Amino acid sequence: MSIISWVTGWPGPSGFGSASTAEQVTEGIDATNLTTIITGGASGIGLETARVLALRKAHVIIAARNMEAANEAKQRILKEVKDGRVDVMKLDLASIKSVHEFADTFIARNLPLNILINNAGIMFCPYQLSEDGIEMQFATNHIGHFLLTNLLLDKMKDTARSSGIEGRIVNLSSIAHIHTYRHGIRFDKLNDKRSYSDKRAYGQSKLANVLHAKELTRRFQEEGVNITANAVHPGLIMTNLMRYSALLMKILKFFSFVLWKNVPQGAATTCYVALHPSLKGVSGKYFVDCNEMKPSTYARDESLASKLWDFSNKLITSASKA
């Protein structure tokens, strides 16, 4: 996708572009037989993703930390989608304990799982550690989703095998993945407060989202599993995600208004990658404006993806013991 397409909204090879909405890219798709989990589905583009998938008849499970907001989101969706199937479940991605509890509760419900949308996240927050002692942006944006995905993988594999329907994992990354620390991931200085940069820490976590999808793809292909994993950049959208930098974002938006999207446009790429039949078998890719785009050099590094996988597992094991 060129900068001209980005600004004008002209469609790319997929037939869609930056001006396309989530409803437009899923028009005519019947998701009746699909069950999906959407993290952070109580607000912003997560809520719009949940609404559109419910509109397309999928069984939607909103996983959220704030249950009051999640239940309000459910009612908003059901008010519009009268026969919608929407449930809410509590999930705090910054807590390893909460992620385990969520996965255990979901598996105990004996539901299928076709689509996992790792949407939730935090952005540009001041330095802080999670309850498990992990830098908060990395803990929430990557580690929580990494663990959640691993805990639900057997369920997804079983569902794909028994239903014959391809499973799909969608990681919400960001174009910010190009603005990270030197060497991409600071494996040895993850929690270093003195050299912490809220912007680079965010970019690091978003790079991790792309690398996670890449390594998942390698493992799925090695196993012959009927599941795909891709990463997406939703675009520039003013949502609660920007609460730590609202003034900066408003100033930026004033000078670059043509590049910004509304929420229905922001949810389009997620919904496209999650549902569109043209992407059957497509995995390990990075999408912008509903079209495949080459990510950064770090994001294409297979050895870095493998190293991140091992590091994440060790970090979770170490934090759980502590």
Lowest mean pLDDT across 79-83, 135-139, 255-259: 255-259
Catalytic residue among 181, 196, 202, 272: 196
Higher pLDDT, 141 or 321: 141
When pLDDT is cut at 50, 70 and 90, the band that residue 242 belongs to is: very low
Has residue 246 got a pLDDT over 80? Answer: no
Q: Can 196 be counted among the known catalytic residues? A: yes
Share the mean pLDDT of the chain: 92
What pLDDT was estimated at residue 253?
41
Domains of the chain: 21-320 (3.40.50.720)
Has residue 238 got a pLDDT over 80? Answer: no
Q: How does DSSP assign 134-149, residue by residue?
A: SBHHHIIIIIHHHHHH
Edge to edge, the sheet with strand 115-118 lists 85-90, 59-64, 35-39, 115-118, 167-172, 227-233, 286-288, 291-292
- Cα separation, 194 vs 308, whole angstroms: 23
Q: How does DSSP assign 194-224, residue by residue?
A: TT--HHHHHHHHHHHHHHHHHHHHHHHHHHT
What pLDDT was estimated at residue 252?
46
The token pair at 291 is 């079209």
Over range 37-64, report the average pLDDT: 98
Q: What is the length of the chain?
A: 322
- Cα separation, 56 vs 214, whole angstroms: 28
What pLDDT was estimated at residue 235?
87
pTM, to two decimals: 0.92
Q: What is the pLDDT of residues 194-213, one digit of tens each?
A: 999 999 999 999 999 999 99
Reduced to 3 states, what is the DSSP secondary structure of residue 35? strand
Which letter does DSSP use for residue 200 in this model?
H
Q: Is 256 exposed, middle or buried (0-12, 13-18, 19+ CB in 10 A)?
A: exposed
When pLDDT is cut at 50, 70 and 90, the band that residue 257 belongs to is: very low
Phi then psi dihedrals of residue 240, to 5 deg: -65, -15
The token pair at 210 is 């792309």
